[in-house]
Structure 1
């Protein structure tokens, strides 16, 4: 059984790699502790797969397994099998704990080890590498300071290496444990057998065989990388928690004719509850009384509020912008739309396994080879010197064997990924780009299609007046001022946009006109008497007030206003352009039409062009209608054939799956709650930092602010960082490949091996620091690598 290459993602090849869970059977979710790498994932899957009727997919970042059982296997048997493999398993809790649950433990456990290692490593490094900082017998101080680092601080590596050894396998932890131990023990042996090596200060590193700084530095850097990884794992589960927290906590329920406040989890289907202006709708239901406009942007992504009246359905967690509503609950608990969206996020994450790190894949072969070479070296030297064993050939054999282990010590290998990742992510933070973890980097390399959510990503997500079409002889400015004055009394988002446009047009010249006899009809429009700028509210000064009616066609009809055929055609033409068109009537006649649109962000067109340069195919995905989507796509340079409109939240996930089913590796960029499941399903999820916490937590990359250009830059930086890591790993293993044979033939003593090891580390760190120049004028562009 194979695993997918990305935790929480459904890439193309994953369609074949993921076990088929569609067969009848129960699904068991397990929490698993103790896994450190891809080989751990494979071991747990193989052990579980040996049980009759059991299929499993293990997720390393979430430290979980999703197991389908079609045979007669109990939950305890599953747990026992995982425990026997060397890991700790327990049944998964259905809801995350408020304090983060068990996922907090790895990070909190590593933190004191990391701090201790860093504090002790600094003086060891200074006195070992700088002769001027040395003092008589400094080696003993270095040994005492290093001992806690290579034992207690490095314990997670030693423990993992022991678990792997028990199952006759090896990983990066095995390599680290052996390298750190060999460097420390050989240094301690040299110090004991040759106290004069550090008896005097000012000793250069080639004049002694002391490598305590190697053991300490490797441990500290790898602990730092493991700590950052543990934090990323913990954040993986917070999307689900944040999504569930969006719902209302209480509901005002009508019971026995009285209004009673109850927790939402006590609602039952059929309950009637009250929703006041500005309040959240407690659960999915049907409006039984009242009219209002519902802000559904968090759930559907629609920028335009939806007008509702008795008989219309409403969704839990959406916001009632104005008007009092009575709603009869139709779906509660786990059946609600919000709960189903949370389930989609959880499903998309739990069905996939993490990337197998390149270093782990190579070390699985590299470690046994190094151990074998060391043993063969020792044996060969002994055999070659059998006639003269008493002349010190045993010492030579031991020295050559230890030189092999020292030259193979993963100093550069241990620095290869953490230094590049730290430098790349640090530079990204300076540029407003947050990368969740190292697995994200490889995903950016293979992505070929990027799905862009329209609202809040390509567009601003806020309605604004884009055009005023005057009719009936009035000027555009006059129509806007009259409409803005009367709309200023309404809390409807469209009214607020019109009033804001009127204020902007008026500038510093004064406030909007005075309005009396104001009336607002939910779902229809507004009406009022608009007085001149110098008029008193009783109309005694200035010109006579104008009766202004603003809203939909039905509202105009209720006020006895009928547009002519030409006016109706002008109105339909504006609607066909993708705009939200609003009538304005003055004193019983049509005065004009206001167009409102969700405007395209500045820079979106250039960002789309940059994505194309990076080898990506942009696709616009939105819950808005086709006319609006087509207009936005045209404005930013996306072909009409790459537009998906009228898509619901579940449909966004299906759209991503459809593209993946065509063999594409898909990235998704979005900012709303409705985007969270699709962000989790995509091979690479990119959240806009001005969006919701749910979208950010469900994604792999987060770009701060609302600039779509940062999306292209985030992919570019990730690819650059991945390229740097691969270059570092190449040089780290190349150095070992050259150095090990030389050491085995006795041509490289441990002191020179230590110097070579230090040089390889300097090379790796220097290469990583080049990432600090990313984004500057001389930085090269990175395309598909």
Structure 2
């Protein structure tokens, strides 16, 4: 009888030989067949995540995991709360095989979007192996990025990148924009070299006593490398713009530098200025005709303009802090290894294992040592530590966390080791979603910056036309070609398109990043403007002005009714709801039951069937109430509802409904039996925040389902000007739209429960709280203009104040930029402005705009 194992080995050897003939030689990793036994660490693995349907009970999870892990090399983790399974399996095990095993237990498994995307990227089911040498992998990635950058640069020089290049520039926040000087070429060595050569040139021009015979020719030689190599970033930007039919913002400076050197060379070659012993007598004003008749050289302008521009661009680049850079530095390396603790099913012991971060799954227990960044969102299950919040949520002081506290990715464990049970990892973590949001806002902002930069670039051809016309008119009127060139050179030197281009985009970027650093995410610059123009802020009371916790304040029963029975029935109806009001009623009902209140006449357990919630928030269901003897139970229809107007109630219940907090009416057998009022805990800073909005001239409104007396009483506690009371959830969006129809700019503040209201407002401000950020953003593809990660109400007036200050800065920047360019051109045309002084004024205008725009960082 033939040996099947030998035949299989022979077939594998033949296949390998054929693969090597095709150039495939990656067979260094031993397989299970080579060694005769399966070695799970010797084969490549991939990870799957499944969405599960039919997972009805948690005890059955261990059986499913055990069946899956019977396959050699498979590790499975099923989280009942998420109804998801995370499975790591060898490459030979496909998702269909895993799904079939789960189907035997009555669970239907579907691959998630992330797993499907990975399989599309790697159609053979292989994912790149995590390197055990992260430093080498990082260096390799850097080299690849550097090669890509060089390829793009070569394509740009060749002129083959047009629409593709512009698309790349719009996406890259630190793009090498052809309208700006190439940032990589503006370096400190270039500035130092240019300054060393420029200093003697400038000194010899202005100190006549030091002008030795032939000094002008030495200056010409010293100025040549400064004009060519030192000013190359500006020449390159100009040439790049010409290839693309655009005007580089430093094109006029490039033309001025080249023109100044060529003019000086011509003067030395063809006029008495080149004679040995000639002395220069430079003047600041072109209208002093006699002193410019014999000729003048402008090597000082060529060198001085180059040095000033290089210094100004370096200063500008060093003062521009990018939030994207800070977020990238705080992002953990997916190849970094962390210790994960697994429970051995056979021994029951906890076994630590070091795995790369990208292989950490939901449900794993991750060890975070002191001083390390927490890479996942999770719940602390062991240890305690002081946690310093991440970059976006880091406005508060460090907090102490212990078991059962939640921590988020990007925060740092300062002084203690934590064991964190993973709830979200990868792109679903809070920090990853924030990074994605900020990157999207930056890309949208880059598009707006591109528009403003393109508009400012039209100033370049306009200045060239004005300079040529000025040269011709001065020469025709005065006959002095030197004076004509001086005024034309001053025009090219003074024009400041960079200040005009930065007047809008830089302040907006600083404003958006300042808000993000304080826990408020703005969609783009247009949101900033709309927020600044908003004159009414509407608050949804629940989720914004009050804490999430509520408590039962009073229970009032109608005549002949038992208040404990009223409370028990209300708790039975809303037991499955996660709303804070429902939790408060259920808690009070359980407290009443556990303490035996109401005596034996009140059933300890009330059976409820067919519970449903109507569109207006009313709970309805069928109750089973035992009779006194217990022989015949009563089946009655009951409901828990909230009144909208005083007309809905009469008598004792009406008085109770308006005398306290939020009222809930309990009804069964067609009759209202009692009123339960709930007490809202107002946030500590709510009244101060409302006062700050009033100081800004913003009218405040509150949206509530409560009757007007109850809503008005709550609004008076915190100072809200107007209330929209008795509004059903399904009609809240219509109420917001009605306020907008009056001609107001409306900013709506609420949580995800009023998402339709956020959609119809001019600015939708969503307060996240503890809700998973990824789920919120995925379910609200529109209407999320502002996302508030903080829980304090003061974030609203602070953000509106920032928006108004940023908008005001932008308007002032635009006025200043235009005023400077017009006044400087008029001064240059009239001969008042010397080219060297014009250069200093031009770079000063850009730095002044930079300085003013940085004021938008103040939150």
TM-score by length of 1: 0.48
TM-score, structure 2 as length reference: 0.45
RCO greater where, 1 or 2, for CA within 8 Å and sep 6 or more?
A: 1
Q: Which has the larger radius of gyration?
A: 2
